[in-house]
Amino acid sequence: MILDSRLEGDSYYITDLALCQVRLHHNAAFPWVLLTPQRPSLCEIIDLTPEDQHTLMQEIAFVSQIMRQVFEPKKLNIAALGNIVPQLHIHIIARYETDAAWPHPVWNSGITSAYTDPEKQEKIGLLKKAFAKTL
Amino acid sequence: MILDSRLEGDSYYITDLALCQVRLHHNAAFPWVLLTPQRPSLCEIIDLTPEDQHTLMQEIAFVSQIMRQVFEPKKLNIAALGNIVPQLHIHIIARYETDAAWPHPVWNSGITSAYTDPEKQEKIGLLKKAFAKTL
């Protein structure tokens, strides 16, 4: 499976699950990961086989638990949009009443922030450790 | 299960599936439905049992097929947000390259439109007919 270059450029590798590759989104304003099912030519969840849809839900739930455990958010925001990057990918974002976009969704919010290298390495490390403990 | 009054006020009844109630969102700018799992005290997908999570994915896929068939969109946008209305509900929105918010998500877009009564009845009728044919 070839990852869309925009998805790849906008995110950092965390781990591979049975179906999805998990990557940290580069917008440091929110703890935000992307799940990309590693199947060719997918745009919609309904392009997946029913078996892969089932696995996708299991992996969304699994990654949601990790996000909840690592970042202790008020709310998780989960979405499959793909109007700009058509390759199927799922956003899982940890949201807080104190974050700059609350209570609105992060898209169109104009709220962006760049990771410093140490911050990025810290967040990647936290996530990799949480996955390693559970997988 | 008691539907949150904001969810109920912002949408119109279409049908009940095994897990979710399906309702048409009142923003006429986009063909947009809401799926609300009929279980008490849910905020997150991971508050559902694994069995209900599996059913939720089946119903998301089923409603996505109906939305694709009835509205022939360029892309489906699917999301569980719930920062404002915490009761778990899933948005499924039919998107077009010609819609007023494209390619951005509909939330925060400022694009809203009210249904006239005949338009609303037409859309509800189209959806009810499509569900009746398939269920």
pLDDT band at B89 (very low <50, low <70, confident <90, very high): very high
Q: Pick the closest to residue B43 from A90, A95, A100 (CA basis).
A: A95
* Residues of A at the B interface, defined by Cβ within 8 angstroms: 43-46, 50, 53-54, 56-58, 60-61, 64-65, 68, 74-84, 86, 95, 102-105, 107-109
Q: Pick the closest to residue B29 from B121, B134, B102, B83 (CA basis).
A: B102
Q: B83 vs A68: CB contact, 8 Å cut-off?
A: no
Q: Pick the closest to residue B57 from B35, B32, B86, B42 (CA basis).
A: B35
CA distance B116 to B122: 10
Direct distance between the N- and C-terminal alpha carbons of chain B, in angstroms, rounded to an integer: 22
CA distance A49 to B92: 19
Q: Report the CATH architecture of B5-134.
A: 2-Layer Sandwich (3.30)
What residues have CB less than 8 Å from B11, skipping those under 6 apart? Answer: B23, B24, B25, B26, B34
Predicted local distance difference test score (pLDDT) of residue A1: 72
Count of other CB atoms within 10 angstroms of residue B66: 22
Q: What is the pLDDT of residues B11-48, one digit of tens each?
A: 999 999 999 999 999 999 999 999 999 998 899 999 99
pLDDT at A50 over 80: yes
Q: Which of B65, B75, B109 sits opposite A82 (nearest CB)?
A: B75
Q: Pick the closest to residue B95 from B87, B86, B104 (CA basis).
A: B104
Q: What is the pLDDT of residues B53-73, one digit of tens each?
A: 999 999 999 999 999 999 999
Q: What's the pTM? A: 0.97
Predicted local distance difference test score (pLDDT) of residue A41: 87
CA distance B5 to B85: 9
Domain ranges, ordered by start, for chain B? 5-134
Answer yes or no: are the C-beta atoms of A12 and A124 closer than 8 Å.
yes
CA distance B6 to A128: 39
Q: Which of A46, A75, A83 sits opposite B102 (nearest CB)?
A: A83
Q: A83 vs B61: CB contact, 8 Å cut-off?
A: no
Predicted local distance difference test score (pLDDT) of residue B87: 96
